[in-house]
Structure 1
Amino acid sequence: MSIEPHKPIADYVAANARLDADAMLKPFAADAVFLDNGKRFEGHNQIRKLFEEEVIAVKAIFTPDTIRNENGQIVVEGPAHGNFPGSPLRFTYRFTLQADEIRTLEVTL
């Protein structure tokens, strides 16, 4: 699926496919908030730790198959595959963008 109109999202998804923590973090604002199934991570240091411990460690790769605008957010859905129980699992990613950066990302099952 093409998500090119939303460059920060496309960059994040491409970096996730390579399991590259530095590149995954790059599209996020310095004070971004990442909500992961009820857990809150704020700023680059906490978000990097999340990527390293809960994404890269289990090789979780998100493969978007739908995208839509909803109430000012970009909603991207699709499965994530990796070395974790229940793989693949279907996730919903809700991105809030500002000035070509990811300000907030909420991930839910």
Structure 2
Amino acid sequence: MSHEIPAPVQRALDAIDALDNDAFVAAFAPDGYVDDWGREFRGPDQIRRWSTNELIGKQATFTNTEVTTPGNPLTILTQVGGNGFNGPSHFTFEITGDSLASMTITA
């Protein structure tokens, strides 16, 4: 069964596909954050630095992406590739308005 991906999450996923760090950071609310296996990066500067070092800067790719928990928060399971971490990961997105409040990465 396919579930709709909300616009803020889709913008972040599209930015990752395009390797566009500016668009990725812009998908988050000003006080939004990334939680990468317990390490938290809050606000646009920290999110940009994290992404440069660990996501878009590592040419990350997401394949075989599927929604595992619809709603808000929404969780996807994807196969991560690129020049950094490679393997399956869950990404949980919490949405506020038309932006991401958070993106949490777990096994």
**What interval of TM-score do these two structures reach, taking the shorter chain for normalisation?**
0.7 to 0.9
TM-score where L is the length of structure 2:
0.87
Q: CA RMSD in A?
A: 1.9
Distance 1:29 1:63 in 2: 26
1:44 counterpart residue number? 44
Distance 2:63 2:9 in 1: 12
The aligned runs of 1:1-109 (5 Å cut-off) are 5-63=5-63, 65-67=65-67, 68-69=69-70, 72-84=72-84, 87=86, 89-109=87-107
The percentage of counterpart residues that share the same residue type is 27
TM-score where L is the length of structure 1:
0.86
Name which of structure 1's ranges 25-34 and 58-67 shifts more when overlaid on structure 2: 58-67
Closer, same or farther: CA 31–90 of 1 in aligned 2, 3 Å: same
**Amino acid in the other structure paired with 1:69:** P
Q: CA deviation at 1:108?
A: 1.2
Q: Which consecutive residues of structure 2, in runs of 5 or more, have no partner in the other structure? A: none
Closer, same or farther: CA 5–56 of 1 in aligned 2, 3 Å: closer
Distance 1:53 1:8 in 2: 22
Q: Which consecutive residues of structure 1, in runs of 5 or more, have no partner in the other structure? A: none
Moved over 6 A (4+): none
